[in-house]
Copies of this chain bind each other. A is one copy, B any other.
Amino acid sequence: MDPEKYQYFEELFHPKSIAIVGASEANALYIVPLLESNFAGKLYLVNPNRGELFGLKCFPSILDIDGSIDYVISAVPARFAPELMKQCVEKGVKTVHYFTSGFSETGKPEDVELEAELVRIARAGGVRIIGPNCMGLYVPKSGVSYFYDFPRESGPVALVSQSGAFAVGIIMLGRALGIRFSKVISFGNAADLDASDFIEYLGEDPKTEVITAYLEGVKDGRKLFEVLREANLRKPVIVLKGGRTSEGARAASSHTGSLAGSSNIWNAVFKQLGLVTVSTVEELTDTMLAFTRAPKPRGRRVLIVSFSGGSSVVQSDICTGLGLEIPVISEESREQINNIVPSAGSSIKNPLDIPSAYFSAESIAKAVSIAASEDTIDIVLFEFADRLRIFFERRNIIDGYKVLIENVINSAKRVRDVLGKPFLVALPPSYYEDEGKRLKDLFQSEGFPVFPSVDRAAKAISNVLNYYDFLKGKVTQKI
């Protein structure tokens, strides 16, 4: 990308000064998180009717502020938006983010025209626009934030979202799952800066390892195509496209004024580009997990470890349906495992299905370790059940349970860190929610990706495999 443009984005994501215009208690929701975050630059509030707000001085207008302003956040009503833009031009502001809605998304001609007017003033004056009708930026490293409990730590995932509340949902779910972000951009109606601009930058951003995007429509399809193609060859791009159906397109139109476009064309383009496409919020976060919290898998051959014979059968069906392979483990390994767990009631060919009655402090961790070490295994899908605790608790051998969990974690770390194979944990919900949460936190704190079911883990890792297969095909083509 053009070095000057790259520099613009670097400064956008690390502003030295921010002014919030139209600040009031009524929109505390969007202001307080920024006030509370560790933003290191200068922060100004603007409201002509207030002397002070949230303990900060209030300026009548941005023109009354002495220092320069990099970034303006607008919470003024739509009808005042053009006047604010004129002031921003005068002040030399680089970017204005409009929380403000009531533009093209309403579909009314006068609101569409108001948005066009904003863009005309901004273009003539050299100011860029994020939005309108959006939540703007979340950049943990800069302390730029728009929700109370967004994490302060950065991470490898970038999210470009046409919907602000959607991004909030992803970030807060990510917080619970151990996903952290480099940059999140909610860009709403995309009157000026569009998904293409952000993705182009993120493709080159060294802080971003995986790009994810929620898109409804796009103004310049050709540009987006080029940008996605380039970015996806550098790092995985995961796309959730809203408005794939006629009803979805109608919703998108009244949400961000987007023309969602033909689903067939989008699908064909995404496929040609080798993007990872997902169709639900869950699949999006699952795939983020699989890309960022597991080593790159060497192949598609999975060891399934399950707590229930029936589940292990269903999981085999699901994995096979997704193009994963489930190789039978060697005679030698099976003999070793049979020295640890009785064969009656167990299946150990792969899936490895060991009834809970045979779970001891040592057995399961050892069996997993033996099977996972096989050369024919690339990935471990480990399903656990929080009800196991009760078996130990009720026999007053809870210490055995604690050692068992410790051993399992150590075995899992060995698979990941020594063997270099993804170890995916599935913890289905159950009645024992407290223990379920404890196990989830434990595995997550050790850096493992935790999924609520094996089928979601399997879908996520198959998305990862499909991406790397596409890249390999590209390289082969070049040779």
- Interface residues, chain A, CB within 8 Å of chain B? 27-29, 32, 78, 101-102, 106, 133, 147-149, 161-169, 172-173, 175-176, 214, 216, 240, 242-248, 250-252, 254-256, 279-282, 307-314, 316-321, 325-326, 328, 343-345, 347, 349, 351, 353, 355-357, 385, 387, 390-391, 394-395, 428-433, 437, 452-453, 455
Alpha-carbon gap, A431 to B250, bound state (A): 31
A431 and B78 form a contact (CB under 8 A):
no
Given contacts A161-B310, A163-B309, A255-B347, contact A27 B357 (CB under 8 A): yes
Alpha-carbon gap, A48 to B28, bound state (A): 75
B176 and A349 form a contact (CB under 8 A):
no
A428 and B394 form a contact (CB under 8 A):
no
Alpha-carbon gap, A326 to B246, bound state (A): 10
Task: Known pairs A246-B320, A248-B317; list 4 more (Cβ under 8 Å).
Answer: A106-B343, A166-B314, A172-B387, A245-B320
**Which residues of B lie under 8 Å from residue A387 when comparing CB positions?**
147, 168-169, 172
B432 and A316 form a contact (CB under 8 A):
no
Alpha-carbon gap, A390 to B175, bound state (A): 15
Given contacts A309-B255, A317-B248, contact A431 B390 (CB under 8 A): no
**Which residue of chain B has the shortest Cβ distance to A311 in the bound complex?**
B166
Instruction: Name the distance in Å between A328's Cβ and chain B's nearest Cβ.
Output: 8
**Which residues of B lie under 8 Å from residue A313 when comparing CB positions?**
163, 216, 242-243, 248, 251-252, 255
Checking B29, B162, B243 against A317 with a beta-carbon cut-off of 8 angstroms, the contacting residue is: B243
A251 and B347 form a contact (CB under 8 A):
yes
Alpha-carbon gap, A391 to B146, bound state (A): 12
Given contacts A246-B320, A353-B255, contact A311 B347 (CB under 8 A): no
Instruction: Name the distance in Å between A311's Cβ and chain B's nearest Cβ.
Output: 6
B431 and A149 form a contact (CB under 8 A):
yes
Alpha-carbon gap, A90 to B167, bound state (A): 70
CB-CB nearest 10 A-B residue pairs:
A163-B310, A166-B310, A165-B308, A248-B317, A242-B313, A245-B320, A255-B309, A248-B316, A101-B345, A102-B344
